[in-house]
Amino acid sequence: MRICILASGSKGNCTYIESENSKILIDAGLSKKEIENRLSLIKVSPADIDAILVTHEHSDHIKGLERFSNFYKCKVYGHRDSFSMIEEKCSLIPLSQQVEFCSNDFNIKDLTISPFDLDHDSSHCVGFSVMENGKKFTIATDLGHMTPEIEKRLKTSDFIVLESNHDIQTLKNNPNYSYSLKQRILSKYGHISNDECSNTILNLIGHKTRGIMLAHLSEQNNSKELAINEINKKLIKNNIKAEDFNMYVGVATQNNVSNIFKIK
Ligand SMILES: [Zn+2]
Ligand SMILES: [Zn+2]
């Protein structure tokens, strides 16, 4: 399986996953043109995309959904409880292209997709595990808080994309954010902080995970350095040596496509 994060952050999210026989996107939060541009950077034809899996209806996840899926006639997979909101916000996905899922696993060609619920302030929000040949990739962003169930899923994944949205103090000090917006982000239905993300990463040590991309970083309330420093601080505090921390950690960004990660 090959994975590339085409964009991540509050201005648009889109992740590309490819197996031997399938090419899918998770979310289409960039314009159609920008998705095409970014796919071309990794030499993928947009016409080859089989399906788009949608996590939830916030615009940073569906901005280009209608135009891209209508143009390329790819299937759109959405949770049963969020499809009406997805349609309300971006409308007009032909019925023949809509595929609803619930909590059960489903297949797209040679990929098995396992959706799981996330607490977030949308009609319904999910993360996905994507499996091929015993290898597992999991993406969990836009979650208000970590739960033991999600953590268990991350521990059994080879590669993960995990939200590290904000530095708590930077957010609290941000004069551009209203009190209510800060409360929304910090709540159990908002986004997880660098602190919560790094605590989760510590719990993954010794398990299956070998690669992590930190994702959905806030432009105003976070930076690559703050997110990575938080992990390093926790490693030192817990006396964890570099050789015991056997994981690649990278940061996904808004404006650039990530490396292409291969898990096999
Ligand atoms: Zn959201
Ligand atoms: Zn989002």
The region that residue 118 occupies, defined by phi over 0 for left and psi between -120 and 50 for alpha, beta otherwise, is beta
From 135, 164, 180, 96, select the one nearest 2 (Cα to Cα). Answer: 135
CA of 60 to the centre of ligand 2 (A): 5
Give dist(CA 224, CA 246) in Å, integer. 20
Q: Pairing relation of β-strands 125-132 and 135-140? A: antiparallel
The alpha carbon of 264 and the centre of ligand 1 are apart by a number of angstroms equal to 31
Identify the nearest ligand to the CA of 26 by its number.
2
Query: Residue 80 maps to which CATH number?
Result: 3.60.15.10
With a cut of 90, say whether residue 94 has pLDDT above it.
no
Can you tell me the distance from the alpha carbon of 118 to that of 107, in angstroms, rounded to the nearest whole number?
Answer: 21
For residue 30, name the pLDDT band (cuts at 50, 70, 90): very high
Number of separate domains in the chain: 2
In a domain, 121, yes or no: no
Tell me the per-residue pLDDT of 35-69, one tens digit each, with 9 for 90 and over: 999 999 999 999 999 999 999 999 999 999 999 99
166-to-102, 185, 197 alpha-carbon distances in Å: 30, 9, 10
Q: 10 alpha carbon to ligand 2 midpoint, in Å?
A: 5
- Residues 161 and 88 both lie in one domain: no
Domain that holds residue 233: 143-254
Ligand nearest to the CA of 121: 1
pLDDT digits (tens, 9 = 90+) for 138-193: 999 999 999 999 999 999 999 999 999 999 999 999 999 999 999 999 999 999 99
Rounded to the nearest angstrom, the distance between the alpha carbon of 56 and the centre of ligand 1 is 7
Give the Å distance between the CA of 215 and the centre of ligand 1. 13
Residue 99 reports pLDDT greater than 80? yes
The ligand placed nearest to the CA atom of residue 123 is 1
Last residue of a domain, one of 83, 104, 125: 104
Would residue 133 count as lying in a domain? Answer: no
